[in-house]
Structure 1
Amino acid sequence: MPDSQSQVLFVSQNYPPDRGGNASRTSDTCKHLVEKEDEITVLAPPPAFPHGEFTRSWTRKETYTDEAVRVIRLWAWQPTDSDPSFLSRLAYYLTFPLHALVWLLFNARNYDAMITSSPPIFIYIVGLFWKLLVKKPWIADVRDLWIDASVDLGFISKNGSLERASRAYEGLMLRKADRVSVTTTVLGERLCDQYNLNSEGVVHLPNGVDTDVYEPTNSDTEPEIVYTGNVGYAQALKPCVRAMSTVEHPNARLTIVGDGDIRGELEDVVDEEGLEDRVSFTGLVPREEIPDILDNAAVGIAPLEEDDTFEYAVPTKAYEYMSSELPVVATGVGEIESLIDKSGGGVLAEANSDKLAAVFDALLADEEKREALGKAGRNHVVEHCDREVVAKELSDVLHDVMES
C-alpha cells in the first residue's frame, strides 16, 4: 500500500439522507475506507430518493463533511412525484453525471482514483471521462442488472433499439474500467457473459451490513413481521400483504417501513382486503431508527419477484435482518436462495399469499426456531458480510490497481 494517503473520488447517484441499499452501502463503505487511511470524497446529487420525500434544491454546489468523508452535492434534477414520469426520471439520471463532468474538468487532478456506483448506468459516463482523459484507475461498482430489470418490468421494450443501445453502451463502459466489482457471483458471471469481460478483472464484494450497528439486544419482541427498504416493482410485496388476511396468529402485524413506486398499490390492497388493523405503512424513517425497529420485530421479509431476471440479487435488508438476529422469510430465485441456504438464517417461501401466511404462522408460533435461525444468520454475516471486512477487500483492490 502507498505510504501517503490516496485521494479517492466515489461517485454515486445516492448518498444519505437518500434511502435504500445504494445510499447506505456507499456511506458505510466510504467511512470504512477512511479508516483504511484513504481520503474519500463523495460526489452525489441532492437527496431525492425515494422520490417525492425531499424538498427540491436549486443550490449549484454544497460541500460538507460526514464523519471524515467529504461530500460534494452537485445540482441535478430532483423528481418530486412519488412515481415520476419517464422524462423526470431520465432528467434525474442524466443531469447529475453531466454536472459531474463539468466539475471534473476543474478538479480531476486532485484525485488518485475513482469508484463509480451503478445503477443508474449513466454514472459510467463519469468513469469513462476519467479513464480516457485523466488516465487514472477506475473501479466500476455494479450492484444491479439495471437493463435486464428495466426490460422485465416493462420500462423498455425487449430486443428493441433502446435495449440494444443500452447494452452496447454498458459493455463498452465496463470494458474500459480497471476493475468491475459486483455484489454477487451470479451478477459477475452474467456481466462476463453479456459483455465478454475478463473474469480476472471482476471482483466479488457483497452488499454486507455494519454488524456493530445492527446488533441484537435480546429484548422482548412483538409478533411483528417487518419489511424495510424500497417499496418498488422488483419486490413481491403484494402477496405478503394479502397473506395477512389468512395469518392465524391473533396479534400478528405487518409493518412496511419505507416508500417507493408501488406504495399506493399496496395501500389499495389493504383497503380491498380490510387489513387496516394488520398492515401499516410508516413511510420513510431516519436510518438510525432502523436497528431498533428490527430489534423489536419477530420476522423480517425480503421478498423478490420470482423471476430469473433477479436471480443475481440479494437485498441489503436481508443482511440487516440477519445481523439483528431476525429470521428472514425470503422469496425469489438464485442468490437469495443461496444466502438462505448457506447462512441457515431464514426460510425460503413461494411468493404466494397462502404459502407465506403458513410460514409466518409457523415462525410466530415457534420462538425456539426463530432464535436458532436468528443466531445462525448473525454468525454468517459477522464472518462473511461485515461492511468493514468488505471495505478492507475494496481497499486492497483499489491499491492493487493503483500500484500496477
Structure 2
Amino acid sequence: MHILLIHPYFLPEDSAGSGRWNETVRYWTAAGHRVTVLAGSVHYLSGKTFARADDTEQTGQGLHVIRVRMSRWYNRGRMGRLWAYATFFGASLWAGLWRVPGPVDLILATSPPLTVGLTGWLLSRLYRKPLVLELRDLWPDAPVQLGYLHHPLAKKLAYALEAFLYRKATHIVTLTTAFEEVLIGQKGAPRANLSTVTNGADLALTERVLQTVDRRDFRQKQRLEGYFWIIYAGAHGPANGLAVVLDAAEALHLHRVGFLLLGDGPEKPSLQAEAARRGLVNVRFLAALPKPEVIRWIAAADAGLVLMRPTPIFDTMLSAKLPDYLACRKPVLVGIDGLSRRLAEQHAFGRYVDPTKPGQWIDAIRLYLESPDSVTSHGNNGYQYVCAQADRRVLAHRYLTILDRVRSLHQTRL
C-alpha cells in the first residue's frame, strides 16, 4: 500500500519533538508499505526553518518526505500561525499534484490544523482515493476555548470547515476515545466512520536506550543529587500553562523538590526570565532534544509531569509524553483533569495535581517523598499499562489494519 501522509510538523530523523509519526511510519515501511509525506519546512517548537526546505528527502527504504515551504512566522502570534497554515495549504496542494512519486492508494491527513484536511479532500477527489482524517486535537474547539479564535465570522467558517470535512472524510481516526464520544455526541459523526488509535511509546527504542544509561552516574554528572526531580518534556507554549510550575517550585523549594523543563516553544524565554527573577534554583531548563536523549533525562528524573491550561477541551486529551514516562517506569503528576486523571487513578500510575492550585502540589508529592515504595509501585503500574495498551508497534499495526479496511471498502464501491 502506498500511503500519502499530509503532516505539516513531520520531523526530520533524530530531531527534537514529538516523534509519534516518525515511529509509526518506520513500522509501516518495515512491514513493506510505502509512505510519502507532505511536510512543512518549519519546526513547530522552535519556529526555525529546516535546511532541506523545498526538497525531497529519502529517509529510508519505502519513505519519501517532500518538504514544502511554509511561513516562518508560525510562532509569532495568532496571525503568524494562521499565515503559516495558509502557506502550507497552498504549497502542500501543489506538491501533492506534481511531486508525489507514483500512484497512491490512500490519503491520510493529520490535524491540527484542520486545513490539512482540506488539502487531503482536494487530493482525494483528484486522485479518486479514500481520505482518512486524523484528529490529534479537536479543532476548532481548542483555539476557540483558548481565545485564539474569537471573531464571529472566523469561528463560523472554522466550524463550517470542520463539519464539511467530517462529512467528506471516508474515515476519521481520533487520538482518544473521549474525542470519539465528542464527535458522536456533539458533532453528529456516525460511529461506524470512527476509530481510535491512541498515543504510545516506542518500547523497543526505550529499552535499547535504557540499557545504555547508568542512572547514578548520569545524575552525578548533571548535578541532580539531593533533589526529587520532576520532569516536563514537551512544548513550552501558551496552551501548556507552564507558569504554574514556577509557582509550584517556589512553594516546594524547602522540600528539595525540583523541576526539569525540557523542550522549546514561544513561552520559554519568558519562563526562563521569570525563574531567574525569582531565583528558583530548583527549576532547570533543558533544550529540546532528540528522543534518545529525552529518554535518558526521563530515566534520570524521579517523576514525570503532564500539564495543560485548565480548559474543558483538554479534559479529552492524553499527552504524547505520558507513555514515554510510563515506559521509563516513572510515576506521573497529572495536571490535566478528565481522561488523563481518570486513567492515572484507575491504573494507579500517578496522582492528580490541580493546575489552578500549584501551592498545594506538595500534598500530591508527599506520597512519593515519604514512600519510595510508592514511586516504584506507580512506576511499575504505569509500565504494565503502557505495555498492554500503548505499545507503538502494536498501535502502528492496528492503524494499518484500519487503513487497509478503508482502502478495501473504497475499492469495492468503485
- Provide the TM-score with structure 1 as the length reference: 0.90
300, 318, 321: which one aligns with 1:314:
318
Q: Distance in 2 between matches of 1:360 and 1:273?
A: 22
Q: CA deviation at 1:356?
A: 1.4
Q: Distance in 1 between matches of 2:105 and 2:381?
A: 41
Residue 51 of structure 1 contacts residue 79 of structure 1 at CA under 8 Å; is this kept in 2?
Answer: no
Q: Distance in 2 between matches of 1:136 and 1:203?
A: 19
CA deviations on 1:217-248 (whole Å, 9 max, x unpaired) are: 58446521111000122223222221112225
Q: How does 1:81-120 map to 2 (within 5 A)?
A: 83-106=75-98, 110-120=103-113
CA deviations on 1:294-319 (whole Å, 9 max, x unpaired) are: 11110111012222121111101111
376, 391, 399: which one aligns with 2:396:
391
Is 1:274 the counterpart of 2:266? The answer is: no
Q: CA deviation at 1:40?
A: 1.3
Q: Quote the sequence identity (%).
A: 23
Matching residue of 2:407:
402
Q: How does 1:118-137 map to 2 (within 5 A)?
A: 118-137=111-130
Q: CA deviation at 1:100?
A: 1.7
Aligned residues: 392
154, 157, 168: which one aligns with 2:160:
168
Q: Distance in 2 between matches of 1:200 and 1:166?
A: 24
Q: Distance in 2 between matches of 1:308 and 1:251?
A: 33
Q: Aligned AA for 1:214? A: T
Is 1:381 the counterpart of 2:386? The answer is: yes
Compared CA separation, residues 307 and 123, structure 1 to 2 (3 A) = same
Compared CA separation, residues 264 and 106, structure 1 to 2 (3 A) = closer
Q: Distance in 1 between matches of 2:105 and 2:178?
A: 30
**2:204 aligns to what SS in structure 1?**
coil
Matching residue of 1:149:
142
Q: Distance in 2 between matches of 1:102 and 1:274?
A: 51
What's the RMSD between the two structures over aligned residues?
A: 2.2
Residue 253 of structure 2 contacts residue 282 of structure 2 at CA under 8 Å; is this kept in 1?
Answer: no
Compared CA separation, residues 71 and 330, structure 1 to 2 (3 A) = same
Q: Aligned AA for 1:61? A: D
Q: Distance in 1 between matches of 2:327 and 2:252?
A: 26
**2:251 aligns to what SS in structure 1?**
coil
The answer for unaligned runs of 5 or more in structure 1 is 1-5
Compared CA separation, residues 55 and 200, structure 1 to 2 (3 A) = closer
Q: Aligned AA for 1:143? A: R
Q: CA deviation at 1:131?
A: 2.4
Q: CA deviation at 1:253?
A: 2.0
Compared CA separation, residues 335 and 74, structure 1 to 2 (3 A) = same
Is 1:325 the counterpart of 2:326? The answer is: no
Matching residue of 2:302:
298
Q: Distance in 2 between matches of 1:368 and 1:69?
A: 45
Matching residue of 2:63:
69
Q: Distance in 2 between matches of 1:248 and 1:327?
A: 20
Residue 188 of structure 1 contacts residue 204 of structure 1 at CA under 8 Å; is this kept in 2?
Answer: yes
Q: Aligned AA for 2:171? A: R
**2:250 aligns to what SS in structure 1?**
coil
The answer for unaligned runs of 5 or more in structure 2 is 220-224, 410-414
Q: Distance in 1 between matches of 2:65 and 2:40?
A: 10
Is 1:205 the counterpart of 2:197? The answer is: yes
> Would you tell me which structure has more helix in proportion to its own residues?
2
Matching residue of 2:412:
none
Q: CA deviation at 1:165?
A: 0.9
Residue 16 of structure 2 contacts residue 289 of structure 2 at CA under 8 Å; is this kept in 1?
Answer: no
Q: How does 1:334-345 map to 2 (within 5 A)?
A: 334-345=338-349
Q: Distance in 1 between matches of 2:242 and 2:363?
A: 16
37, 41, 48: which one aligns with 2:32:
37
- Provide the TM-score with structure 2 as the length reference: 0.88
